[in-house]
Structure 1
């Protein structure tokens, strides 16, 4: 069987399109640690101190310390790739201590982050006038998630190319087509 140059071109284009699709996906990093161990539970009982966990949520505040940066986070459950499910019920607040500088404009209020680290001390703090306890994640690796696009009409969405490829055959003929839309 002899393939024509069109068939080779089509095969090359398909493999390139598949590679492009794989390259544009976000990297999935599975959360570690006990998924049932929540910030609220650790704050109340100190259970899990010294355990390594992945917790995520929305940044409430970014504070610069002499030793680095501290993020106050309101925690949410994580999906299978570690992104916070911010439509779910809160799991409590926690602090992330990072050795080094984190830009407050990047880590501003409302941004989604996932931090993997060791549960250290339980810090005393306040929410309004109420005294609260916050578990602290030390030795952290922090992932700042891309901002989600708000739902809206198509005019507010960024243009992204969509590529469709079709191949068909019958009665001794092979055909194919490529469609690109934005």
Structure 2
């Protein structure tokens, strides 16, 4: 019984950390093409819903809205970009309204949902580049984490008896400090059926 309680508690903790923020959540039936699929055959995906994320490379506020250029990275199960030393490319997201460049600044991780518009010609430095473009209707700015303390329950294989009941594992508490990490979910968001955004508090 004791072991089951510890397992149940651990599962609840994991579930709470892996939920998709409301602002980029979509119906479970939504079919989302991978970034590589869209780039390979863009004409087959025009008008379809996508969820792309990455690290902000450029941000420009225009009269009709905000243009965000990103280095794309694959997403974790809950929507956060999995930042690494390798990226399959860049994309652009157009957002209606104003995004403050001091908040949505270069290097921050962000995820967008929206409709794929097509390929837009541009440049990266002096190099010509074709950017996949989405018209965003939801976005989530992810929290930057410098240090996080992780507590978990581990099961040590050491049999013991309690009130004449045999338990094959002995639970113990483990405390781990992760420094200079980039992971962690942000806070509240809004519905993604209309243009919404969220960022960490």
Larger RCO (alpha carbons 8 Å, 6+ apart): 2
- Equivalent position SS for 2:40: helix
**Residue 11 (structure 1) aligns with:** none
Q: How does 1:31-180 map to 2 (within 5 A)?
A: 33-35=32-34, 37-38=36-37, 40-41=39-40, 45-87=42-84, 89-149=86-146, 157=147, 160=149, 162=151, 170-171=162-163
Q: Distance in 1 between matches of 2:173 and 2:76?
A: 33
Cα distance in structure 2, aligned partners of 1:37 and 1:50: 16
Computed over aligned residues only, the root mean square deviation of the Cα atoms, in angstroms, reads: 3.8
Unpaired runs of at least 5, structure 2? 1-5, 154-159, 166-171, 177-201
Over 3 Å counting, the alpha-carbon distance change for 1:32 and 1:59 in structure 2 is farther
Instruction: Say how many residue pairs are matched.
Output: 163
Which structure has the greater CA radius of gyration? 1
d(CA) in 1 for partners of 2:174, 2:35: 45
Contact kept? 1:61, 1:109, Cα under 8 Å: yes
Please give the per-residue CA displacement for 1:4-56, whole angstroms capped at 9, x wherever unaligned.
Answer: xxxxxxxxxx9xx88x94796253358951126446435xx544111111111
* TM-score between the two structures when normalised by the length of structure 1: 0.66
**Counterparts of 1:148 and 1:46, CA distance in 2:** 38
Q: Distance in 2 between matches of 1:36 and 1:180?
A: 38
Give the gaps of 5 or more residues in structure 1.
1-13, 150-156
Structure 1: 4+ residue segments shifted above 3 A: 20-24, 29-32, 36-40, 160-164, 178-182
